[in-house]
Amino acid sequence: MHTWQNWSGLETAHPTEVITPATPDEVAVAVRRAAAAGDRVKMVGTGHSFTSISAPESVMLRPDGLSGITAVDRAAMTVTALAGTPLYVLNSELARMGLSLHNMGDIAEQTLAGATSTGTHGTGGVKASLSAQLAGLRLVTGDGSTVVASRDENPDVFAAARIGLGALGVITHVTFEVEPLGVLEAHEQPMGWDEALARYDEFVSQNHHCDMYWFPHTDRMQVKTNNRLDVPIDEIDPVGRFRGWLDDDFLSNSVFGLVNRLGNRAPGLIPRINDLSGRLLSERRYSDIPHRVFTSPRRVVFKEMEYAVAREVGLDVLREARQLIERKGWRIGFPVEIRMTPADDITLGTSTGRDSIYLAFHVHEHAEHLDYFGGVEEILKAAGGRPHWGKVHTRQAADLAEVYPRFEEFLALRDRLDPGRVFANDYLRRVLGD
Ligand SMILES: Cc1cc2nc3c(=O)[nH]c(=O)nc-3n(C[C@H](O)[C@H](O)[C@H](O)COP(=O)(O)OP(=O)(O)OC[C@H]3O[C@@H](n4cnc5c(N)ncnc54)[C@H](O)[C@@H]3O)c2cc1C
C-alpha cells in the first residue's frame, strides 16, 4: 500500500498507484489512462500545504522527474522551468545566471507548481506571490491535451491557472518574470505592540518589504524590513556564520523546538516563555542576495492557518484576534505573522482586486489547534477574509463564492478543462463543489 503524508503530518492518503513521469508526454499518458479507467490523478508537490489539497485519491504523480530550467529569455527577462523543480533549485540556478525572482515566502522547499497553485506569497514588493510573478504556464487538462497560457494566449486559463488549486490540470512548465540579481538589506528590530502598529503604514510605504511577528501574551513585536541596495553583489554583508547559525538555526529551530515541547507539557509557562523569547531578540542588519534574505530553514514542525483580509481592516482584525486570545485563555507558543501584499488579478488569488494584509496563526505540531484556529477564523471570516488555499481552514464553496467576485468564472473554466473531474479530491469538492 502506498502512503502519502503532508509536511505537518495532519493529512494522510493512500494512492492506489504512484507514477513519476519523466516528461510532459508521460504526464499526458498518465492522465489519459486514468481518465479512461475512471480514476483520479493528483500531481503532488512536496506536501508543504497544511490542507489536504494535494491528497491523491487514486493515481499519484510525483514531481521529481520534472525538474530543471528549460529556457532563459534575457530579452523578455523570463525563465521557464519544469513544474516539479524545487524553489531552492530555481533560486540557486537563477543566482548563478545573475538573475532572481522578485519576491517569495519564508521557505524554498516547495515545488514551483505546488507553490504557485496555492498562491504562496511573501510580503510587499510590486508582486508578492509567486503566482503573480508568472508570465506563462503549460498544463495537461482532463482529456490529456496540452494548453499553453499567458496574457496573450488563452488569457482566461492564465488568469485562473496561476492559482489553479490543482483543479484545472497538471502543470508541466512554469515561466517566471525575473529581474537582475541584486542585494537586499534586512533590518530586524524588536518593538512594542503599540509602536509597531502605529508605524505600520510607514513601514510598508517606506520599505520594499515588511514582515512583522507578534509574540502572543506579550506586547513584543519583531519588525523585519527588506530593501534593495544599489551596491555590487560582492559588497554583500551577510550574517556571520556563527551569528547565522545561532539566530537562524540554533535559536529559531533547535531552542524553539525545545521551548515548544516544554510549552506543550506546561502551557501555563507559555506567556513567560514568549516574553523571554521577545526579550532575547536583538536588532540586526545584514545584506545578501534576495533568496537568502527571504527564506530560512524551518525544522520545527507546526500547523498553520493564514487569511488575507483587505488592507484597511487588517490591523483591526489583528487587534480583535489578540483580544480573543486573551479572553479565551488559550496558550499560544508561536508568533503571529503579519505580511502585506499588493492587489493582483488572479481569479482565485487571495489578494485578487485588493491590497491585503495576511495574518498567519501557528501552533506546534503536537499542540491542539482546533479551538484557536476556529475562534480566530470566525473573526477573519466576518472581516471578509480569504483563506490561504494551502493552510488550515474550514471554508466551503458556498461561502467562498461570497468573497471571490470571479468564483463562477473559475468553476466554468474547471467544467471546460476537467469536465470528468479527473483532478478532484475531497478538498476540491469542499472548496469548489462537485
Ligand atoms: C514550513 C512552511 C513554510 C511556508 N511558508 C509559506 C510562506 O511563507 N508563504 C506562503 O504563502 N505559504 C507558505 N507555506 C505554504 C506552502 O508554500 C504551500 O502550501 C505550497 O502549496 C506548498 O507547495 P508544495 O510543492 O509542497 O505543494 P503541495 O502542497 O504538495 O501541493 C499544493 C497544490 O499544488 C498542486 N500541484 C502540485 N504540483 C502540481 C502540478 N504540476 N500541476 C498542477 N497542480 C500541482 C497539488 O495538487 C496541490 O493542489 C509554507 C508551508 C510550510 C510547511
Q: Closest Cα to residue 108, out of 48, 180, 27?
A: 48
Per-residue pLDDT at 230: 93
Q: DSSP secondary-structure letter at 53? A: T
Q: For 251-267, give one letter per residue: b (16+ CB within 10 A) or e.
A: ebeeebeebbeebbeeb
165: left (phi over 0), alpha (psi -120 to 50) or beta: left
Q: Is the pLDDT of residue 271 over 90?
A: no
Q: Closest Cα to residue 227, out of 246, 208, 245?
A: 208
Per-residue pLDDT at 243: 64
Report residue 247's pLDDT band, with 50, 70 and 90 as the boundaries: low
Report the range of poorest mean pLDDT among 211-225, 251-265, 381-395: 251-265
Q: How far is the CA of 1 from the centre of ligand 1 (A)?
A: 24
Report residue 267's pLDDT band, with 50, 70 and 90 as the boundaries: confident
Q: For 128-160, give one letter per residue: b (16+ CB within 10 A) or e.
A: bbbbbbbbbbbbbbbbbebbebbeeebeebbbb
Per-residue pLDDT at 239: 80
Of 7, 49, 123, the one to substitute when testing ligand 1's pocket (max ligand atoms within 8 A of C-beta) is 49
Q: Closest Cα to residue 28, out of 154, 143, 182, 180?
A: 143
Give me the helix-helix angle, 370-382 and 311-328, nearest 10°: 140
Q: Which residues contact 276 (CB under 8 A, 6 or more apart)?
A: none
How far, in Å, CA of 145 to CA of 25, rounded?
A: 10
Q: What does the angle CA 40 – CA 431 – CA 149 come to, to the nearest 5 degrees?
A: 70
Per-residue pLDDT at 265: 78
The answer, yes or no, to whether any atom of ligand 1 lies below 6 A from the CB of 107, is: yes
Report residue 120's pLDDT band, with 50, 70 and 90 as the boundaries: very high
Per-residue pLDDT at 246: 58
Cell (9 digits) for 393: 481552514
Of 120, 414, 425, the one to substitute when testing ligand 1's pocket (max ligand atoms within 8 A of C-beta) is 120
Per-residue pLDDT at 254: 66
Q: Closest Cα to residue 195, out of 92, 79, 315?
A: 315
Report residue 253's pLDDT band, with 50, 70 and 90 as the boundaries: low
Of 48, 134, 248, the one to substitute when testing ligand 1's pocket (max ligand atoms within 8 A of C-beta) is 48
Q: What is the pLDDT of residues 68-113, one digit of tens each?
A: 999 999 999 999 999 999 999 999 999 999 999 999 999 999 999 9
Give, using CA atoms, the residue closest to atom 51 of ligand 1.
48
Range 158-166 average pLDDT:
98
How far, in Å, CA of 99 to CA of 97, rounded?
A: 5
Q: How far is the CA of 165 from the centre of ligand 1 (A)?
A: 9
Range 403-429 average pLDDT:
98
The answer, yes or no, to whether any atom of ligand 1 lies below 6 A from the CB of 165, is: yes
Nearest ligand 1 atom to alpha carbon 423: 47
Q: What is the pLDDT of residues 42-57, one digit of tens each?
A: 999 999 999 999 999 9
Structural domains in the chain plus CATH codes: 183-387 (3.40.462.10)
Report residue 165's pLDDT band, with 50, 70 and 90 as the boundaries: very high
Q: How far is the CA of 48 from the centre of ligand 1 (A)?
A: 5
Per-residue pLDDT at 216: 95
How far, in Å, CA of 195 to CA of 189, rounded?
A: 12
Per-residue pLDDT at 43: 98
Long-range pairs, 323-328, Cβ under 8 A, ≥24: 324/375, 324/376, 324/379, 325/216, 325/217, 325/372, 325/376, 326/217, 328/371, 328/375
Q: Closest Cα to residue 433, out of 406, 403, 399?
A: 399
Q: What is the pLDDT of residues 332-384, one digit of tens each?
A: 999 999 999 999 999 999 999 999 999 999 999 999 999 999 999 999 999 99
Backbone torsions φ then ψ of 12, nearest 5 degrees:
-135, 145
Q: Closest Cα to residue 360, out of 122, 87, 11?
A: 122
pLDDT, the chain, mean? 94
Neighbours of 29 (CB within 10 A): 15
